[in-house]
Amino acid sequence: MIKSEYKKYGSFISIFVISTLVYISNQMITTTIAKFANHLGAGSSLVRIVVGSFAMMALLIRPISGQAANNLNKKHLLLGSLLIILISTIGLSSATKINHLIIFEGLKGLIAAKCICITARNC
């Protein structure tokens, strides 16, 4: 009986925990990215571009990521997305130029949109 309940709710709980951790890490980075861009010498308009690149890329990829979540293996998409988020987070922490911040923050936005579509559909 417990095994069947784990099969029923185990994947949901796992995806819920993963989604929560990804969301918390994104929020922690978002609150500090503007100050970090300022530290690297970006002006106020460039700081806005760095901070907005996450939201813009996430908005642009949502229609495509919904179709991908419907047609492809959700578990592989989720694992690949988490790997790219890890790479993007490490890239953000080691960035030395504003261009790197924009690229890694945009990449994180692209993949975060995929994670949201995948978790909304459950594996």
Say what the pLDDT of residue 4 is: 63
Boundaries of domain holding 15: 2-121
Handedness of CA 65, 69, 73, 79 (dihedral sign): positive
Top-confidence residue, 3 or 34? 34
Number of domains in the chain: 1
Mean pLDDT, residues 74-101 taken together: 86
Quote the pTM value. Answer: 0.76
DSSP 48-80: HHHHHHHHHHHHHHHHHHHHHHHHS-HHHHHHH
CA count, 13 A, side-chain hemisphere, 31: 5
Could you report the per-residue pLDDT of 111-122, keeping only the tens digit for each? 877 666 565 555
